[in-house]
Amino acid sequence: MKPFNLSYVRFRKIALSVAVLFAFACGPSFDPHEFMSFFQPEVANTPAEYGRYIFSPQLYADTELGVAYADTLVIDENVRAWAAYTGGKFSETVVAKALYKEEPEAVKTFTSALGKTHTPAVAYLKFAWSTDDGQANPWVTDIPPLDSTKLPQQLEEAKATYAITTDAFLKERYAFQAVKLASEAGDYKQTQQLYDKLIKPLPNKTFISDWALCRRAGASLVLNDTARAIFEFAQVFDRCPSRRRAAETSLRRSGIKFREDALQYAKTDRERAAVYALCAIQPGQDGLDLLKALVHLAPKNPLIELVMAREINRNEYYFFTSGQAYTNYTLLARPDSTAFEGRKTEAVTYFEKLREFALESAENKALGDGAFWYAASAYLAYLGNDYKAAQTHLDQAAALPTPNNHLKSQIAVQRMLLLAAQTESITPEAEQQLIGYLETFDRTTNFRVNNAFVDVCRRFAATYQHKTESKSGWLSSCSRSTEEPVNGPGLAKAYLLTMLTTQAHPDTYFASTADPHSVEDTIAPAVVRQTIAFANQTKPTDFDKRLLTLADLSNDYLNLLLGRRLMMEHHYAEAADAFGRVNPKTWTAEPFAIYFRKNPFSVKMPRLYTATPKTVPKAPGNKNGLEPGSVNIPAEPVANAFTPVTFARRMAELEKQAQTATGDKAAELYYELGCGAWNLSWYGNAWLLVRSYWSGGEPPVYDVPTDPTAKQKRFDVLMKMDYYTTSHSRNYFEKSVNAAKTPLLADRSAYMAARCEANAFSLQKSIEQVRNGYVYEEDSTFVKNMRTLRKTKYARFYKAFINNHTHTLFNQEMIRECAMYKDFLAFGEELNE
């Protein structure tokens, strides 16, 4: 006698699979239910058992992940009823172990005692266990097949025993068994008939009758009597907690929405309200009209506030989410984004309707809980940029008593959002209000609160920089005054607020949280300098101290960041000064002790040496024919004798010396500079001096916006990033080639310049793969197009090397010493095709 409906069990397994796939496949968030929303559904005064019906982009707002059903002891209405039936002689735990787990010891204890006082009850339990499918765990896949050959006999036994049983407790259960067995036999017409014949006449009905009604509703659905099925499932949902999920899922799994004709079966307002309530929580529809009807019929229905919160959240989903993102992240169904966009255009109007209803409800004495309705009204006014009304309604909500801590939090969140929306210029008063909110909501575990926290930080950061933040309301637009010069402290505060958007709670990861690496990689050195000055000011304000505490950025971190940003821009002397202010212990600890261990001037150039002079064919056009000579390029030191400070200083010294040097001396200096700059790239071994991370998945050509214009802008930025193109290194090598008097030095630098050019082509090729719909690299058309692209745009330095530097001892020795060099030369054959 298990508490799960078999048909519901199988559906839930499918639903779980969907939820798991979404959790791992739909974007950056680890929470599949996360979306852009600021209104917490927990502000609704709704019993916790209804929590799964709040709005979620997924099937339900819970996934039941981690629930160990095999070890879960179910104590429901049935267990409590049996415990009461035995006169309280057994605990609910013992009863549950006997009824649902069928533990031998518990069964023996329970049936032995029952046999002394309720012998017919023992017979019923044995019959019920024999008709059960034997499966209480909904996630186990090896469910034994139902032995349908026994069903007719068991059904007849249930009906016969029902007829002679005088015990009302058992009689109702035999009636349920008869209805259940008819349903499992697939005789849905008889299922309905048996319910009407056996259950309806019972003078005193309990939840067991509702279990039977759930079976009858399922039969009605199979027989295409959808209106009646809606009505019957609604009554089960309303009255029977132990079958509430099964009743609701029966509609949701079939995509069934409200039907007016379902109301014809209702005899009371409660029955009609039950229909509206169940239908109002179904996905894929606007439920405001159903909510209005529910309020009219049953203003104390526990789902009213949940439905209102659900409608706000659902409309937020359309309002804030782009159609392209909706299509990209909903991987399973690939929904019609056109339909999504159609509903999205209605979001503004629907918010207006919700706001009007919320205000009416706030004054509805029958509803009560005015704090919830005023808070909802305030939020909807905020979304419409009606900040005066939003402030008024928030004050009204705060003035009313409420035991709901989530509602109190929501009121504070909305005050924080209002502060950011209304602050056009920074004042000490605004800062004091802001810092209090930031301290309250920093490191939250609620994604909606984090959304608000991040939004407020970004808005204030923009205000400090005198930038205009666009509004997303429907009643008005807002723009700030003419931009003014930004002072140093303003830049520092803007940066610190931006860094706060990267610091979610350590136990969570939210989609709205910014990537700290993205901030580090784009911050201007001037801003970091201003932040260092701000952090070390002699007379900080209370706000300054508290903001710095929240940001928790040490001087070591800031100076290391400044050094990296300056190295990225190849300002080596300034970078050395910044690195010099970092605690020296940093260089001997992780990550530098692990990832900065190789010589930052080494580019894997092999040792090239010939003990005796050799002759090689001269370049075409040379009348002398042969060129004697020797090669002696020492092996590169492998071990790293540098710290970030000394390496940056060495690069600065090389640049200074190269400016005045000539000939081979200049060539040597520029070659060394080129090697150092190479290693400051993604391809090098000193990347840690310009970035805090490295990934084999770079360059980030796949993490681009879906909008074509924004995507192209991102690609343009990538192609200008020396970290991936090594263009700065190539410039050094080119200068080395031009300065060299000795052919060997020119050959070596020309080879490295061509390698840098190949890096730029590699980035462009990756971009073209994405631009062409993530085409396979081996696609014949793509291969042909990329060959043409390289020949026309990325072969200047390669051609120069092939034409001028391959009739040399350098070329001859490289072929002998370096296996990869042969691959490098292979493209030369393609140039001549």
For residue 795, pLDDT beyond 70? yes
Instruction: Name residues whose C-beta falls within 8 Å of residue 348's C-beta, 6 or more positions apart in sequence.
Output: 319, 474
Average pLDDT over residues 602-612: 80
Average pLDDT over residues 587-603: 96
- How far apart CA 661 and CA 44 sit, in angstroms, is 76
Mean pLDDT, all residues of the chain = 87
Instruction: Give Cα 128 distance to the centre of its chain.
Output: 46
For residue 61, pLDDT beyond 60? yes
pLDDT at 822: 87
Structure-token pair, residue 295: 């309020």
Higher-scoring residue by pLDDT: 245, 476: 245
Closest CA to 578 of 423, 690, 469: 690
Structure-token pair, residue 276: 């509206």
Closest CA to 827 of 807, 793, 799: 799
Do residues 502 and 513 make contact, with C-beta atoms less than 8 angstroms apart?
yes
Which letter does DSSP use for residue 198 in this model?
A: I
Q: Is 562 helix (H, G, I), strand (E, B) or coil?
A: helix
Average pLDDT over residues 435-457: 95
Q: Is 39 helix (H, G, I), strand (E, B) or coil?
A: coil
pLDDT at 15: 31
Give the 3-state DSSP-derived string for 476-512, with helices as H, strands as E and coil as C: CCCCCCCCCCCCHHHHHHHHHHHHHCCCCCCCCCCCC
pLDDT at 68: 43
Structure-token pair, residue 178: 């008869």
- How far apart CA 480 and CA 702 sit, in angstroms, is 35
Q: Which amino acid is residue 550, in one-letter code?
A: L
Q: Which amino acid is residue 377, in one-letter code?
A: S
pLDDT at 635: 81
For residue 615, pLDDT beyond 90? no
pLDDT at 629: 62
Q: Is 627 helix (H, G, I), strand (E, B) or coil?
A: strand
pLDDT at 13: 28
- How far apart CA 758 and CA 793 sit, in angstroms, is 11
The top-scoring range by mean pLDDT among 112-116, 144-148, 585-589, 812-816 is: 585-589
Over residues 623-653, the pLDDT tens digits come to 444 455 667 788 888 899 999 999 999 999 9
**Helices 347-362, 337-345: inter-axial angle, 10-degree rounding:** 50
**14-28, 562-576, 582-596, 753-767: lowest mean pLDDT where?**
14-28
For residue 512, pLDDT beyond 70? yes
Cβ atoms < 10 Å from Cβ of 625: 8
Cα angle 297, 300, 301 (rounded to 5 degrees) comes to: 75
- How confident is residue 16, by pLDDT bands cut at 50, 70 and 90? very low
**Helices 405-422, 370-383: inter-axial angle, 10-degree rounding:** 30
- Percentage, residues of the chain above pLDDT 70: 85
- How confident is residue 484, by pLDDT bands cut at 50, 70 and 90? low
Average pLDDT over residues 312-332: 70
- How confident is residue 116, by pLDDT bands cut at 50, 70 and 90? confident
Burial class (CB in 10 A: 0-12, 13-18, 19+), 629: middle
Do residues 45 and 171 make contact, with C-beta atoms less than 8 angstroms apart?
no
**212-226, 245-259, 325-339: lowest mean pLDDT where?**
325-339
Q: Are strands 626-629 and 608-609 parallel, antiparallel or unpaired?
A: unpaired
**89-93, 334-338, 674-678: lowest mean pLDDT where?**
334-338
Backbone angles phi, psi at 469, to 5 degrees: -95, 125
Over residues 118-144, the pLDDT tens digits come to 899 999 999 999 988 544 444 444 555
Do residues 566 and 536 make contact, with C-beta atoms less than 8 angstroms apart?
no
Do residues 678 and 756 make contact, with C-beta atoms less than 8 angstroms apart?
yes
Q: Is 626 helix (H, G, I), strand (E, B) or coil?
A: strand
Q: Which amino acid is residue 71, in one-letter code?
A: D
pLDDT at 478: 38
Over residues 724-733, the pLDDT tens digits come to 999 999 999 9
pLDDT at 621: 47
Q: Is 632 helix (H, G, I), strand (E, B) or coil?
A: strand
Residue in the structure block whose two tokens are 């802001």: 434
- How confident is residue 611, by pLDDT bands cut at 50, 70 and 90? low
For residue 22, pLDDT beyond 50? no
Average pLDDT over residues 263-279: 97
Q: Is 452 helix (H, G, I), strand (E, B) or coil?
A: helix
- How confident is residue 830, by pLDDT bands cut at 50, 70 and 90? low
Q: Which amino acid is residue 361, in one-letter code?
A: S
**501-515, 713-727, 743-757, 814-828: lowest mean pLDDT where?**
501-515
Burial class (CB in 10 A: 0-12, 13-18, 19+), 659: exposed
Residue ranges of E strands in 674-779:
none
- How confident is residue 26, by pLDDT bands cut at 50, 70 and 90? very low
Which letter does DSSP use for residue 647 in this model?
A: H
pLDDT at 339: 64
Average pLDDT over residues 350-361: 96
For residue 777, pLDDT beyond 50? yes
**166-170, 265-269, 507-511, 784-788: lowest mean pLDDT where?**
507-511
pLDDT at 355: 96
Do residues 625 and 617 make contact, with C-beta atoms less than 8 angstroms apart?
yes
Higher-scoring residue by pLDDT: 340, 720: 720
- How far apart CA 680 and CA 641 sit, in angstroms, is 16
pLDDT at 376: 97
Instruction: Name residues whose C-beta falls within 8 Å of residue 780's C-beta, 6 or more positions apart in sequence.
Output: none
- How far apart CA 110 and CA 94 sit, in angstroms, is 8
- How confident is residue 324, by pLDDT bands cut at 50, 70 and 90? low
Do residues 234 and 262 make contact, with C-beta atoms less than 8 angstroms apart?
yes
For residue 297, pLDDT beyond 90? yes
Structure-token pair, residue 319: 């309002």
Closest CA to 176 of 198, 157, 202, 192: 198
Distances, alpha carbon 527 to alpha carbons 424, 464, 492, 579, in Å: 22, 13, 6, 17
DSSP string computed for 335-399:
--HHHHHHHHHTHHHHHHHHHHHHHHHHT-TTT--HHHHHHHHHHHHHHTT-HHHHHHHHHHHHH
Higher-scoring residue by pLDDT: 434, 132: 434
